[in-house]
Amino acid sequence: MPHTGQIKDKAVVIVFGASGDLAKKSTFPALYTLWEEGLLPEKTRIIGYARSKLSKEKLQDQLFWKIRDDAKEGHHQEDAAKMREFEGLVKYVQGSYDKDESFQELEREIEAIETEVFSGQKSNRISYLALPPSSFSQVSHMIKKHNYSPETINRLVIEKPFGKDTEDCKRMMSSIAKDWKEEEIYRIDHYLGEEMVRAIYHLRFANSFIEPLLNKDHVESVSIVMKETFGAEGRGGYFDEFGMIRDVGQNHLLQSIAIMMMEAPASLEDDSLRSNKLDLLKGIPPVDSADLVLGQYADGPNGKAYVDDETVPDDSRTATFAQWAMKVDNERWRGVPVLVKCGKGKSWKSLDEGLMTMTFHLRAPRNNVFNVNEHSNSLVIRMNPEPAVFFKANLLKPATRGTEAIEQEIKWTVPGRKVAGDKLAYEANIFKGDQSSFVREDEVIAAWEIFTPLVIFPKKDRSRPADRLFWYTGY
């Protein structure tokens, strides 16, 4: 049986794909911030592993690019002494992802750390795959074959997207499961680490006045809006393969919907939280293509078109905008439409700010004696740009003798940390052995079953959504 529980010391973190964009912008900054906050296990050491040759200067750039970028934005100041100290914890190993000898060399580096730092004791091992999903199966197999320590705790961390459709996901999960137990696998969806997303649990389940509102008797509709101000920006090779639905719809947005609309868990100590998310996902029928609109951003006043990016094919019809309707077919939500809109691109003013909101539009009062607007009451959860929760309510218009109502916002702002690796509690849970905020295999498959009809089409089916793509200039 694999060892479980908290890793308190003697940890080696291996970042596979250490020369890539994900490691540079997310993985290394998160590890640095965890170390800086004292949240890494004692005597943690880090190994970056990739195919590329990295000089000392290039490795420093990978480790600290995001920290320096945030410092330029004024979010904090660089601490050169701390950065040098952190750099001393990191080694780099160049190697292939499919050759035994490369992983054998990696094992020799791990054993050297165990000898020099851990007094010959075996290390607990975290293997973080900051790699394309197509590499997950091969690399996870090689890790198990050459770098697995049966005497200690081993964890495999993989990033979304988990496949391209239901069958592809099942193949990937089945392949990984041949070598790794479910309790050893941590499937990251970084949206679940956002402070505001984690705050939703408290908002719903620690307050008596919120939960009674969230059902079909009080909610007329639910809407989710996500806007990203950047386009492909050199990542066209990745994004053009996946598109908007695969990139954020099937994972980030659907997980957010599940958290906001699931039943209350029986406990935080067992797996009922993830089981309740699964029940919610199973209650969502596959999205009908008739309820879908796709678009691709064109050139505009603020930037070039998606296809003008040099990493994007000139004839690409990959959607950078998607809007769809779905429903939850269960007793709590039956009949309440869920409307989702997501897009990326900065060429038009309508996409000039990052935004993520979830809104519960409440039904009008039964006795509408003040004749207020039908949709004037709502509960809004805003993840960014400024995390907040607010009610839109009708109140008496100030300085009036009549009964005229005016819409007002009752607002609670969540102070956020705009620093590299700011999802500390989420990342630290990998070391704690807490999987409650990571995605279970059956959750991933249930999510794909909702969207697979939209991304898999018969070759001669000319009604497929990609053929109804339009070029948009607004949001």
Question: Based on the domain organization, do 145 and 202 belong to the same domain?
Answer: no
Domain count, the chain: 2
Is the pLDDT at 1 greater than 50? The verdict is: no
Contact (CB, 8 A) for 122 and 114: yes
In this structure, is residue 184 part of a structural domain?
no
Question: Based on the domain organization, do 138 and 215 belong to the same domain?
Answer: no
- Per-position b or e across 82-119, b if 16+ CB within 10 A of its CB: ebeebeebbbbbbbebeeeebbebbbebbeebbeebbe
Query: pLDDT per residue over 142-152, tens digit each?
Result: 999 999 999 99
- Residue 171 structure tokens: 């193949």
Question: Based on the domain organization, do 262 and 374 belong to the same domain?
Answer: yes
In this structure, is residue 104 part of a structural domain?
yes
Secondary structure percentages of the chain, helix, strand, coil, to 5: 40, 20, 40
The more confidently predicted of residues 84 and 454 is 84
Question: Based on the domain organization, do 155 and 199 belong to the same domain?
Answer: no
pLDDT given for residue 370 in this prediction: 62
Question: Based on the domain organization, do 150 and 217 belong to the same domain?
Answer: no
Residue 1 class from Cβ within 10 Å (0-12 exposed, 13-18 middle, 19+ buried)?
Answer: exposed
In this structure, is residue 429 part of a structural domain?
no
For range 224-251, the mean pLDDT: 82
The range of the structural domain enclosing residue 214 comes to 192-419+439-472
User: What is the rounded CA–CA span in Å between residue 250 and residue 447?
Assistant: 6
In this structure, is residue 465 part of a structural domain?
yes
The more confidently predicted of residues 83 and 415 is 83
Nearest of 81, 109, 82 to residue 18 by alpha carbon? 109
Question: Based on the domain organization, do 250 and 131 belong to the same domain?
Answer: no
User: What is the rounded CA–CA span in Å between residue 98 and residue 402?
Assistant: 76
Question: Based on the domain organization, do 341 and 196 belong to the same domain?
Answer: yes
pLDDT given for residue 467 in this prediction: 41
Query: pLDDT per residue over 193-214, tens digit each?
Result: 777 787 888 889 988 989 999 9
In this structure, is residue 233 part of a structural domain?
yes
For range 172-197, the mean pLDDT: 89
Active site residues: 252
In this structure, is residue 59 part of a structural domain?
yes
The more confidently predicted of residues 161 and 152 is 152
pLDDT given for residue 451 in this prediction: 92
Question: Based on the domain organization, do 105 and 200 belong to the same domain?
Answer: no
Question: Based on the domain organization, do 138 and 196 belong to the same domain?
Answer: no
Is the pLDDT at 457 greater than 60? The verdict is: no
DSSP readout, 421-462?
Answer: T--HHHHHHHHHT--TTS--HHHHHHHHHHHHHHH---TT-T
In this structure, is residue 176 part of a structural domain?
no
> Looking at 135, 159, 183, which one is the last position of a domain?
159
Question: Based on the domain organization, do 237 and 383 belong to the same domain?
Answer: yes
Please state the φ and ψ torsions of residue 431, each to the nearest 5 degrees.
-75, -30
Is the pLDDT at 466 greater than 50? The verdict is: no
Handedness of CA 156, 157, 159, 165 (dihedral sign): positive
For range 257-270, the mean pLDDT: 89
Question: Based on the domain organization, do 196 and 145 belong to the same domain?
Answer: no
Is the pLDDT at 24 greater than 80? The verdict is: yes
User: What is the rounded CA–CA span in Å between residue 391 and residue 152?
Assistant: 49
Of 72-86, 287-301, 311-325, the poorest mean pLDDT is in 72-86
CATH number for the domain spanning 68: value is 3.40.50.720
CATH number for the domain spanning 299: value is 3.30.360.10
DSSP-derived 3-state class of residue 91: strand
- Residue 140 structure tokens: 């996870």
Nearest of 339, 258, 287 to residue 451 by alpha carbon? 287
DSSP code, position 9 = B
List of residues 6+ apart from 9 with CB closer than 8 A: 41, 42, 43, 124
Which of 45-54, 199-208, 232-241, 397-406 reaches the highest mean pLDDT? 45-54
CA angle, 354 then 355 then 356, to 5°: 140
For range 439-454, the mean pLDDT: 93
State percent of the chain over pLDDT 70.
Answer: 85
Average pLDDT, the chain: 85
pTM, to two decimals: 0.86
In this structure, is residue 172 part of a structural domain?
no
Question: Based on the domain organization, do 27 and 100 belong to the same domain?
Answer: yes
Residue 165 neighbours by CB distance under 10 Å: 17
Which of 133-142, 351-360, 448-457 reaches the highest mean pLDDT? 133-142
